[in-house]
Amino acid sequence: MKVTVKQGLRGGEITAIPSKSDAHRLLICAALADAPTTLICPATSEDIEATAGVLRGLGADIERTAEGYTVTPIKCVPEECLLDCGESGSTLRFLLPVAASLSANATFVGHGRLPQRPMDELYDALTAGGAQITSGCKLPFHLSGSLLAGEYEIGGSVSSQYLSGLLMGLPRLSGNSRIVVKGKLESKGYVLMTLDALSRFGVDIKREENTFKVPGGSPYKTPGTITVQGDWSNGAFFLCLGALLKEGVTVKGLDEGSMQADKAVLAVLEEMGAQVERSQKGITVKKGHLHGVTVDASHIPDLVPVLSIVGALAEGKTTFINAGRLRAKESDRIKTVCSMITALGGRAEEHEEGLAVWGGLSGGEVFGAGDHRIVMSSAIAAAVCPVTITGAQAVGKSYPGFFEDLSLLGAEILKED
């Protein structure tokens, strides 16, 4: 699908959609719980549906309702499971350890760039713990065997999702376990989200720096009804849009007390000179005197594409460092962000572990590269210039209603199949 977003955004109000990151975790916890759970999650996405589908494959009964999901937990895992993770890295990395803890006999499949995304360290940890995985964890692969309680080591520099998957799977085992993270723990906020989700289901894991003590035989206890948090990751697109508009944009439904790492977007925008206001109505960001900064992306890699748009429209150069993990996302985001900025008339400089942007934007046509965050970031540039995006259907991965919400802020959007 090709989408053209004409210049003319005027600002206004948007309500944040449910957090994809929170929904993944709460669906998994609900599927492992002692009784059914009602999950309040009025909007969904391809990635959330991938997690729900894999959990159904493992034996959970998950019904989509107008308000969210009704989850009846897993009681008996089918003798053989076909588990399709779609293009969702979170689904695969979270649910592989969970499936291993359930002693599932399962075939995992995936699509898009998912088969190329790294899994080596998780493979090493799980096979050392008793799981049997064919093809070196390269999709498609088959899982069998049983995960055993004990000590696990996992690298912290590739993906926090490996650690989160183990944290959700190991409490089911009869014995106590200990996870040691080697090196610097990247995306720490996402691990804190996992610990928060577990605590909401009564699972208490002790953390001491980079060591996590997991009590065995910990029952997941349903809270009955639980609400998915508003999504800072997708709300960031509109907060960044506000930084480009004199009228600003107000995003409702975001909690600054959330463990979501991408709430850091506010601190970055304030450092760049945007005006940030907080009220009972929501969080409002308005244009200020924007200037370039250096952004450490180690804990907020998903913010780089949209912050690059703001950076390209700021005075001076904006540099993103510690962003090497962007190369293993839905696209090589260091390359595709640079391509996006240059296609829109700005300047971009690719580094091995990051990038720099500057120069202003004049408009153009961007290839979405099958990456939802490239598509949505490109559209935000319509605050100052006309933008055409090919492959715009990629927004379905995390935010199917993105263009409809953008139109509420005055965007004139033309779609072509």
Shared-domain flag, residues 318 and 339 = yes
Strands (E), 186-328: 206-208, 211-214, 225-227, 249-252, 275-278, 283-286, 294-296, 318-321
Confidence check: pLDDT of 184 > 90: no
Shared-domain flag, residues 216 and 256 = no
- Residue-wise pLDDT for 57-115, tens only, equals 999 999 999 999 999 999 999 999 999 999 999 999 999 999 999 999 999 999 999 99
> Confidence class of residue 8 from pLDDT cuts 50, 70 and 90?
confident
Domain boundary, last residue among 227, 261, 285 = 227
Shared-domain flag, residues 175 and 260 = no
> Which range in 178-187, 322-331, 383-392 is most confidently predicted, on average pLDDT?
383-392
Domain boundary, last residue among 227, 256, 284 = 227
DSSP codes joined into one string, 369-382 = TT-HHHHHHHHHGG
Task: Give which of 396, 405, 353, 351 is closest to 373, Cα–Cα.
Answer: 396
> Confidence class of residue 240 from pLDDT cuts 50, 70 and 90?
very high
Shared-domain flag, residues 293 and 167 = no
Helix, strand, or coil (residue 278) = strand
Shared-domain flag, residues 184 and 39 = yes
Shared-domain flag, residues 399 and 331 = yes
Sequence-distant contacts of 142-146: CB under 8 A, at least 24 apart:
142/105, 142/106, 142/107, 142/108, 143/96, 143/99, 143/100, 143/104, 143/105, 143/106, 143/107, 143/108, 144/105, 144/106, 145/100, 145/103, 146/100, 146/103
Shared-domain flag, residues 173 and 111 = yes
Shared-domain flag, residues 194 and 97 = yes
- Residue-wise pLDDT for 341-356, tens only, equals 999 999 999 999 999 9
Handedness of CA 154, 51, 22, 118 (dihedral sign): positive
For residue 140, is the peptide bond before it cis, meaning its omega torsion is within 30 degrees of 0? yes
CATH of residue 397: 3.65.10.10
Shared-domain flag, residues 267 and 384 = yes
Domain boundary, last residue among 158, 193, 227 = 227
Shared-domain flag, residues 238 and 267 = yes
Average pLDDT over residues 206-218: 93
Average pLDDT over residues 190-204: 96
CB 187 within 8 A of CB 264: no
Alpha helices in 327-366 (DSSP H): 333-343
> Confidence class of residue 405 from pLDDT cuts 50, 70 and 90?
very high
Q: What is the pLDDT of residue 328?
A: 87
Q: Residues 6 or more apart from 13 whose CB is under 8 A from it? A: 249, 250, 251, 252, 281, 282
| Residue 302 bears catalytic tag | yes
Shared-domain flag, residues 191 and 336 = no
Task: Give which of 170, 285, 282 is closest to 218, Cα–Cα.
Answer: 170
Residue type at position 414: L
Q: Residues 6 or more apart from 377 whose CB is under 8 A from it? A: 237, 305, 306, 308, 309, 337, 340
Of 302, 371, 405, 417, the catalytic one is 302
> Confidence class of residue 321 from pLDDT cuts 50, 70 and 90?
very high
Shared-domain flag, residues 143 and 282 = no
What is the Cα–Cα distance from 256 to 258, expressed in whole angstroms? 5
Least confident of 12-21, 111-120, 284-293: 111-120
> Confidence class of residue 159 from pLDDT cuts 50, 70 and 90?
confident
Confidence check: pLDDT of 157 > 80: no
Q: How many domains does one find in the chain?
A: 2
Confidence check: pLDDT of 158 > 90: no
Q: How many C-beta neighbours within 10 Å does residue 328 have?
A: 17
Taken as a whole, the chain contains a residue count of 417
Q: What is the DSSP letter of 324?
A: G
Q: Which domain holds residue 248?
A: 2-17+230-416
Q: What is the pLDDT of residue 185?
A: 81
Alpha helices in 243-303 (DSSP H): 265-272
- Residue-wise pLDDT for 278-315, tens only, equals 999 999 999 999 999 999 999 999 999 999 999 999 99
Kind and range of the H or E run holding 39:
strand 37-40
